[in-house]
Amino acid sequence: MMNLIKKYALILTIAFSTSLIILFYAFVFKNPERVFFSDKGGDGVKEYFSSIYHIKYDTSYFFCRSMNYPYGEELKFFGIQSLPVNTIKFIHEHTGLLNAFSVVAYINFSIILSLLLSAIFIHLILKKLGLPWWMIVLFATPIAFLTPQLDRFGGHYPLAISCFIPISMYLLMVFHERRTIWISTLIGLFHLYVYEVHGYFFFMTATIPLVYFTYMFFKERAKMLTNGLHLFMQIILPFAVILILDGKGSGIGDRTTYPWGHMDYLSKPESIFLPISRPYFASTARAIFKSIDYMAEEGRAFVGYAALFVILTILFRLIVFRNKKPFVSPTENLPFNVVLVASILLLLFAMGFPFILELQGLIQYCGPIKQLRALGRFSWPFYYALNIFAVYYIYHSFKPKVAIGISACLFVILAAEVKYTNGSKEKQLNNHWEDLTATDSSNDIYELSKQIKTEQYGAILPLPFFSVGSENINVDVRCEGISKAYAMSLRTGLPLVSTMSSRLSLSQAYNMQQIYFEPYRKSGILKLIRIESNKAVLLMVEDCDLLSEGEKALIACAWRIARKGTTTIYALDPRCGDEIAERLNEEKTRSIDTLTLQPPHTADFQKGFYYNDFKSSTQHIGYLDPGAFQAQLSKRFAIDTINLPKTCEGKYILSFWYSNIYFDVLPRTDLLVNSVSEANGENEIVKCELSKRVKILNGNWALYEDTIYIPKGTQKILLYGINKEVSKPVLTIDDILLRPAALQVMFSDPEGIIINNRRYLKTNLQYR
C-alpha cells in the first residue's frame, strides 16, 4: 500500500493543491469572464482594459490603440501578454469560439493555475533531491501557496504567474542529468516565453543557468566548447532574439533609458526574514522599526517560517558546534547547490548590491537591466530555493523521529499561513466591474454610453486627464474615474487620449500633457487629434476639485451632451484649443497701456521682488533673451543666492524656466531651497523634483513654479540642484522670480507683456 502511495505521490500533491484552489479561488471558476481581480485604477484594470480592447477593436496584432491617442503603443508597454492575447484574438476573429472577454478568464486562470504548476514542479525538485514522498507531499503545496507573488494578484498580472521560477530550477536539474541539445533548446524557448510574459522573469531564470555554466567552465575545462554551445542555446541566443524583436518595435527612440526607482524599490533584510507583509505583524513591526514605510512593497518577500527555522538552526549549529557543512556543501545535488548560489546572488541584487555601496553610477552601464527598476522582485527565487533547501535540511540534519515531529509542527504553521494569506483573496479579488459589464439602467456608464453616437467622435479625453509612464514628467491620476473611462472606451470602441504606460515616449508625453498645463500657446496635440480623425473629441468629465486651468478651459470650450451621477459628457472641437490660447493672450495684452510695468531687471528686493534674467551670462541662450545659468548635473550644485531684506517673511512664489526638458532624467533633478538666518544657520525649506511643479511647457522649456514659506529672520535664500542619477546633461535655468504671493509682477516686452514669468503675445502664438 505504501509503495502504491509513493508511486502516485505526485497525484496527492496535485489533489492537495487543487483542493486549496477550490477552497480559496472557486469564485473565479463560477464566472471567469466576469471576475476582475481589480476594477479600480492601477496596473491591474489597465491590463484587463488594454487586452480586451486589443482583441475587440485593434486591426494590428502588434500594436494597441486603446490609449495614447493618436499615437497608440506597443503591446508590452500596456501590460498585454502578446502571445496568449493574440492567440485569443486570432481564434476570436477566425472561428468565433472565443470572445474579447475570454482574455479575462485567461488572465485569471494563468494566475490561479500557476499555483498548481508551481506545486508540481516543487514536488519534482524535492523528488530529485531524494526526499521521502510524505515530506514532499507535505511541503510542496504550502511552499507554492505562500509565494511572495501573492501580493501581485491585485495587479501586475504577468508578475503574479508563480510557476516560472520553480520550472527554471527543475529544468536545470534535468539538464545536468542529460546534457542534450534538445533540453537546451527547450530551456532557450522557455526563456523566450518568460521574457514575453515579463522581462523580470527572464533575468531571474537566466541567472540560474548562467551561474551553473560559470561554475562548469572552471570544473570541466575539457568540455568548454560543449558547455559554451549549451550556454549559447539556453541564454545567449534567446537574448539575441529578444534584442532583435525589441528593435523591431514602433521605432520610438526616446523612451527613458534610466527608469526611476533602482535605489527605492529594494529588499531589506527585515523585509525578507520577517513577515513585514503580513497584517498581523504590522503593529509589531512598527513598534520595532518605528515605521515600515522605508521597506518598499516590491521588496517584501518573507521567506516563511520553515525557512526561518532552518536559518536559525544553521546559525545556532555554526556558533555552538562550528558546523560549516551547509555553507560548503548544502546538498548532494550539484545543480540545486547552483540554484542556491544563484538565488543568494539575486537576493543581494534585490537589496541593491553593488549600487548601495555609493556606486549608483554603475546603473548607467547595466544595459537592459537598467529597465528593471524594481530590484526587490529579484528576491523571489531566494524564497523558493531556501524553502526547498529547508525541507532537505530538516530531513538530512535531524534524526528521523525528530524530523517527523519538526515537519508536522511546521506543516501546521504553514497550513495556518496558507489559510491566512489565501483566505482573504476572494474579498480582494472578486470584483465585477459593473461599469463595463452592467446592462441595465441603474449603471451610469451604461446609460451614458447609449447616448453617444460613436461615429461622430474620434477619441475620448477623460478629465481629470492622466499621462503616466514617461518616468520624467507625469500627470498623475486624480479623483475617481479612470476605470469609468476604461469602461466607456470598451463600450464605444473609442480610444483614450490619456495614457497609463510602462515606458512612454518622452516627446509623446510632453505633447499630450499640453492638455493639462496652462493654455499658454496653441495645443499641438489637439491639432494632431484633429488631423487624425477630423472628428470631435468626447470629453468624459468626472466631478473633481483638482482640475487644472487647461482642463477647465477645455470644458468651457465644449458643449454638454449628457450627465449621469458624477460623470458629465461633453463634445469638443479640437480647433477650440487654438481659440483658448488666442483668447488668453488677447485678454492679458489688451490692457497693456493701462498697466504699471516694472523694470525688466531687478536682482534685489528694491521693488518688492527678486528677478534674475542672467543677462551677464550671454554665452548661454536664455528663454526670453541671451543670458542664462548653466550647470552640469551632479549630486549637488549651486544655482543662485538671493539676498533678502529683513521684511521678507511668509508666503512667496518661486518660479523660473528650465530647458532641455526632453533630455532623459533631467526633469527628475531636485530643486533644493534653503533659508539662511543668523539665528538658525542654513535650513532646508523646500526639496522638490523639477517635473513635479511644472506649470507650462513651451517648446524645449518648462516653467517651474512653487509656493514657498520664508521663515522670519531669513537673510538669504540659496538655490541648489541635486541629481544623483546622471552627471552628463547640462541644466539651463533662466528668469528666476521670487515674489510675494499677493504681488503680480509685470514687465513690458516688445512682443506683448510678461506677467509672473509668462510672456503673453499680441499676435504670434507660436513658441517663444
Q: What's the CA gap between 349 and 336, in Å, rounded? A: 20
Q: Is the pLDDT of residue 445 over 60?
A: yes
C-beta contacts of 678-682 below 8 A and 24+ residues apart: 678/713, 678/715, 679/713, 680/711, 680/713, 682/718
Q: What is the pLDDT of residues 194-206, one digit of tens each?
A: 999 999 999 999 9
Query: pLDDT-derived band of residue 749, with 50, 70 and 90 as boundaries?
Result: confident
Average the pLDDT over 258-273 and give the result. Answer: 89
- pLDDT in the model for residue 155: 84
Q: Is the pLDDT of residue 55 over 70?
A: yes
The one-letter amino acid code at 239 reads: F
Average the pLDDT over 396-412 and give the result. Answer: 95
Q: What's the CA gap between 209 and 232, in Å, rounded? A: 11
Q: What's the CA gap between 546 and 463, in Å, rounded? A: 10
Separation of CA 591 from chain center: 48
Q: What's the CA gap between 553 and 542, in Å, rounded? A: 15
| Rounded-to-10 torsion of CA 11, 12, 13, 15 | 80
Which range, of 319-333, 424-438, 689-703, 741-755, averages the lowest pLDDT?
Answer: 741-755
- pLDDT in the model for residue 478: 92
Q: What is the pLDDT of residues 357-383, one digit of tens each?
A: 877 777 777 777 888 889 999 999 999
- pLDDT in the model for residue 250: 64
Average the pLDDT over 586-597 and give the result. Answer: 66
* Alpha carbon separation from 64 to 72, 80, 100, 446 (Å, rounded): 6, 9, 14, 24
Determine phi and psi for 225, rounding to 5 degrees: -65, -40
Average the pLDDT over 649-663 and give the result. Answer: 94
Angle at 490 between CA 488 and CA 493, to 5 degrees: 100
- pLDDT in the model for residue 729: 84
Q: Which cell goes with 31?
A: 464566472
- pLDDT in the model for residue 178: 93
Which range, of 383-397, 577-591, 675-689, averages the lowest pLDDT?
Answer: 577-591
The closest alpha carbon to 9, from 134, 145, 166, 115, belongs to 134
- pLDDT in the model for residue 222: 86
Q: Is the pLDDT of residue 707 over 90?
A: yes
Q: Is the pLDDT of residue 240 over 80?
A: yes
Helix (H) or strand (E) holding 280: helix 279-289
- pLDDT in the model for residue 3: 62
- pLDDT in the model for residue 647: 83
Average the pLDDT over 222-247 and give the result. Answer: 91
Q: What's the CA gap between 334 and 347, in Å, rounded? A: 20
- pLDDT in the model for residue 596: 53
Determine phi and psi for 171, rounding to 5 degrees: -60, -35
Question: With a threshold of 0.85, does the pTM exceed it?
Answer: yes
Average the pLDDT over 663-691 and give the result. Answer: 93
What is the 3 state secondary structure string of 147-195?
CHHHHHCCCCHHHHCCCHHHHHHHHHHHHHHCCCHHHHHHHHHHHHHHH
Q: What's the CA gap between 110 and 98, in Å, rounded? A: 16
Q: Is the pLDDT of residue 496 over 60?
A: yes
Exposure b/e, 341-367, CB count within 10 A at least 16 = b: bbbebbbbbbbbeebeeeebeebeeee
- pLDDT in the model for residue 602: 62
- pLDDT in the model for residue 740: 94
Q: Which cell goes with 60?
A: 494590428
Q: Is the pLDDT of residue 91 over 60?
A: yes
Q: What's the CA gap between 703 and 723, in Å, rounded? A: 19
Query: How many residues appear in the chain?
Result: 768
- Strand 758-761 vs strand 752-755: parallel, antiparallel, or unpaired? antiparallel
233-247, 490-504, 569-583, range with greatest mean pLDDT: 490-504
The one-letter amino acid code at 662 reads: Y
Percent of the chain at pLDDT > 70 equals: 96
Average pLDDT value for the chain? 91
Q: Is the pLDDT of residue 768 over 60?
A: no
Q: Is the pLDDT of residue 580 over 90?
A: no
- pLDDT in the model for residue 767: 42
